[in-house]
Amino acid sequence: MGETYRLNVAGLERDLHVCPLNDHVSIAGFIMFSDVELTVACAAELLKNLPDFDVMLTAESKGIPLAYEMSRQSGKNYYLARKGKKLYMTNPTRVDVKSITTEAVQTLYLDEDDMNALKGKRLLLVDDVISTGESMRALEALAEKAGAKVVCRAAVLAEGDAAQRDDIVFLSPLPLIFR
Amino acid sequence: MGETYRLNVAGLERDLHVCPLNDHVSIAGFIMFSDVELTVACAAELLKNLPDFDVMLTAESKGIPLAYEMSRQSGKNYYLARKGKKLYMTNPTRVDVKSITTEAVQTLYLDEDDMNALKGKRLLLVDDVISTGESMRALEALAEKAGAKVVCRAAVLAEGDAAQRDDIVFLSPLPLIFR
């Protein structure tokens, strides 16, 4: 199955595929999809480590199961910033974001109803992995436009230099693999 | 908040935004994101109405919370077909799909590990809404390539003519709104 990286997080052990990002750097692919046991455990562990908040905001798509499960366990609503504008959206707000896993500039949209729901709230920004921080900055831009107060930025893993940040909450570091 | 359609499903009532699809037809936007109560109730109600199955396959992104919750409740794994190819995917299989909510041909990818996990399994195809049926056909194409046996196609809602289909399981019809 190729090279793997053994991750320990939230009391569980997983072997992640190592995938080349470019000629010099590989990443260990952390995918929560299909893994309910991991999602439940990470959500519970993150919730133990967070300040008080009212609602959560995450980004499509890898943040969805985590935010959903944290919402189910905490009873606090989650909102989802989408990568594309859908016909069923009304007056969405748009911000731009660059991803290290797709190599392209992406755009996040948040529906008007969701923007209104964030207004004046203590907001938790949450994602599966914080790496370059671009997704978090895009979520932060949406939060600012919505008039929410970001009280915490949280992720299961902090990748590469992000593990040195003192302004985020995370469960485990995830190394970049240099060749 | 504009025109709405009142939906009753899984013992809950929701007012959906009505959004124009074109000059002649509008759709009621059914969004399970942010609504854990609805997701939990729909997952439980669908699971009561299904034949035996081993694993589930859904499509990014609107199917994610439903498949996740059905997996959590049933203990059976879910797998996710992605709309784009990611760097962390290994040898993904590709099929094409046309969506009525984005007006474009989309492509679904399923990772090699996930394809292998489906092989020989009794598979449930699940999504939030079945409308034109293109997404289901794309999931079906992935299932066939994987060597899975599709035992059921299920969705919370059947939109428009899909409500007349006798080869799908769904909880409520969702009308198209003609002008």
The alpha carbon of residue B130 and the mean position of all alpha carbons in its chain are separated, in whole angstroms, by 6
Residues in chain A closer than 8 A to B44 (CB atoms): none
Angle, nearest 10°, between helix axes B64-74 and A64-74?
60
pLDDT attached to residue B21: 86
Residues in chain B closer than 8 A to A126 (CB atoms): none
Residues 89-118 of B with CB under 8 A from A: 89-90, 101-103, 113-114, 117
pTM of the predicted protein model? 0.95
pLDDT per residue over A45-69, tens digit each? 999 999 999 999 999 999 999 999 9
Instruction: Give, in order, the Cα–Cα distances in Å from A160 to each of A25, A28, A108, B87, B129.
Output: 11, 11, 24, 17, 39
- Nearest chain A residue (CA) to B22: A87
pLDDT in tens, chain B (179 residues): 589 999 999 999 999 999 998 899 999 999 999 999 999 999 999 999 999 999 999 999 999 999 999 999 999 999 999 998 988 888 999 998 766 656 677 789 999 999 999 999 999 999 999 998 888 999 999 999 999 999 999 999 999 999 999 999 999 999 999 98
Is the Cβ–Cβ distance between A100 and A131 less than 8 Å? Answer: yes
Residue in A99, A28, A32, A20 with CA at minimum distance from that of residue A65: A32
